[in-house]
Structure 1
C-alpha cells in the first residue's frame, strides 16, 4: 500500500490496494484504518468494485446506517444513492458532519463516484481537530462546558409540508451534543458544531455568560457563527476533483465536508455507505 499525503493538515491518496480485497484481508484493512486515523480522509482512484464489495468494505468499520430522506439501494441496505441530474438543489453544499442530527452521528463513510461532471462537483473536507486546536485559549475555556442542539428539521425538513416535517421531527427529534467532543480512538478534541445542522447552544444563558439581553441574543448566535465558520479556513482543508471509480473514505468524527454545487445541469451520481457511530462525549 502506498500513501501520499496531500496537504500538511488533512488527506492522503492511497495506492496499491483494491477495496474489494481489503474487505477480505484483516491485515490490509488494519493498515487502511490506521491511515484513516492519521490522515482523516483517504482518496483512492480507479476502484473497480461492485456495490456488494462497497458495502462489504464499509461494514468492516461497523454496521451501516440508513437515511430517513435519501433512502438506500433496495438490494444493498445502507448504501445511499446521492444522484443529482435534474434538480439544481443540493443539501450537501454546506459544511457539515454527516448525521449530526442523530444521537450517534456517523463514525465515517465510504463514498464512491459513479458519474461526475467533467468540470465542477468537487468535495472539500476539513480537519476539525485543527479547527479546535488553533482557537484562542479564552474561547476554548468559554466553550468547554457548552452543548448544542442539532436538527434535521431546518435542513431536509425545510422543503417538506408542515405535516411531513412534523412527522420527520417526531421520528428524529433534535439531538444534543458537546460543542467540543473527544475522539473515541485518538483522544483528540474536536470542534463539533456545523452550519448544516447545529441550531443553538442549550446551556448558554447562565450568569457567567449573560449579564444583559444582548449577551444572550445576538451574543450566543455570534459565537456559534464564529465556531461554525472555522470549517471554511483553507489551511484546514483538502479539495478533491472526482473521476468515475474514485472512492473516498473519511472519519466523520473529526472532519466536516462540503460538496460544491457548481455543475448543474451536468449529472453527478455518488453512492455512500455511512457507518453507525458512537454517542459523542
Structure 2
C-alpha cells in the first residue's frame, strides 16, 4: 500500500485551509490514507467513527476521499449498531432493504448473518443465496442505493473476503466501438429472477408486482463526479430496453443474439482483476463504497463458519 496524508491527497471540500477543532478521540493526528490498489480503494486510519459525527469538516473530508477512491476501509472500529447508523446518516438519508429485516437496535441496518446455528429455523437473510456474483445493490429500484457502509461483527477465521470493482474504469477502458454502440442504451433491472426465483409461482408474481422492473441508462453519469459509469450487473440486469439493429440483420434470429452477447460482454467487465481491490475482513472492519461507481463480490469460501455483517444503506435518487 502507498501511504499519504489525507490533506495531501484530497483537501476538505468545505474549507481546505482550515484545521478542524475536534475531540482527541475523533482523530489523534491527520487522517492516514493508504492506497490499496492503483484502480480502487483506500484504507483510512487515525480516526474514530463513533465520534466523527461531531466534526462536519471531517465528514466532508471522508466524503471527498470516498468519491475519489470509490471504496474506503476502516479497521478496528468498535462501535455499536446505532453508532454505525448515525455515522452513515452523515452522508445522506438511510433506507432499509425492501425484502429483508432490520437490526432491532438500529432500524436502518440490514443484518447479513450467515450460518449462525444450523439447528434453528433461519431468517430470510440467512437462507438467501450468497452474494458471490458481481453486482450493484438493489438496482431493480427506480432509485438504487447511493452507497453502503458495511461492518463486520464476526467473520470466519479465513475466507469470506469481499472484492470491489471500479466501473468508471471499466467504462473508460471499453473499445471505442463498444462505447458508441451503448451510447443512449437503457437496460431493465429486476429482482424477480434473483430474489424471486426460489419462491412459489404465486409468491414470485406478487413480489414482482410489488417490485416492478426498473429501467436505467447503461452508461450512467455519476451525479456528483460527472464521471461515466458502466451500469449493468449480473445479478439484476436482464436485457436492453431499446436495443435495435436494422442494418446488419439477415434474418430474425440475428437480432437477439447480438443483444445477449453485448450484455454478457458488458457484465463481465467487473471481473477484470486490474479494476479490483480485495478486502480481508477482521472484526470491526468497515467498508464504505459508492454503489453507483462500484460493483462487489462476496466470496463464499468459508463453508459453515459464521459470518455476521451489518449494512447501512444510503438512499439514492431516481436515475436518468
Higher mean displacement: 161-170 or 218-227: 161-170
Is residue 33 of structure 1 aligned with residue 67 of structure 2? no
For residue 50 of structure 1, what is the aligned residue in structure 2? Answer: 80
For residue 106 of structure 2, what is the aligned residue in structure 1? Answer: 76
For residue 139 of structure 1, what is the aligned residue in structure 2? Answer: 178
- Any residues of structure 2 matched to 1:107-126 within 5 Å, and which? 107-126=146-165
Decide whether aligned partners of structure 1 residues 223 and 161 sit closer, same or farther in structure 2, where only a CA change above 3 A counts. same
Query: How large is the Cα RMSD of the aligned pairs?
Result: 1.4
1:225 alignment partner, one of 251, 264, 270: 264
The Cα of 1:191 is off from its aligned counterpart by 0.1
Is residue 240 of structure 1 aligned with residue 273 of structure 2? no
Structure 2 counterpart SS, 1:55 = helix
1:16 alignment partner, one of 36, 43, 46: 46
> d(CA) in 2 for partners of 1:110 and 1:241?
16
Count of residue pairs the alignment pairs up: 281
Structure 2 counterpart SS, 1:23 = helix
* Cα deviation 1:178-234 (Å, max 9, x = unaligned): 000000000000000000100000111342575532332211111000000000000
- Any residues of structure 2 matched to 1:58-97 within 5 Å, and which? 58-85=88-115, 86=118, 90-97=129-136
User: Which structure 1 residue ranges, 5 or more long, are not aligned?
Assistant: none
1:196 alignment partner, one of 235, 245, 254: 235
Instruction: Tell which structure's C-alpha radius of gyration is larger.
Output: 2
Higher mean displacement: 68-77 or 125-134: 68-77
> d(CA) in 1 for partners of 2:91 and 2:97?
18
Structure 2 counterpart SS, 1:243 = coil
For residue 223 of structure 2, what is the aligned residue in structure 1? Answer: 184
> d(CA) in 1 for partners of 2:248 and 2:158?
47
Is residue 128 of structure 1 aligned with residue 158 of structure 2? no
Is residue 262 of structure 1 aligned with residue 292 of structure 2? no
For residue 23 of structure 2, what is the aligned residue in structure 1? Answer: none
User: Which structure 2 residue ranges, 5 or more long, are not aligned?
Assistant: 1-30, 119-125
| Conservation of the 8 A alpha-carbon contact between 1:65 and 1:276 | yes
- Higher-RCO chain (CA-CA 8 Å, sequence separation at least 6): 1
> d(CA) in 2 for partners of 1:13 and 1:278?
28
| Conservation of the 8 A alpha-carbon contact between 2:82 and 2:105 | no
> d(CA) in 2 for partners of 1:121 and 1:165?
30
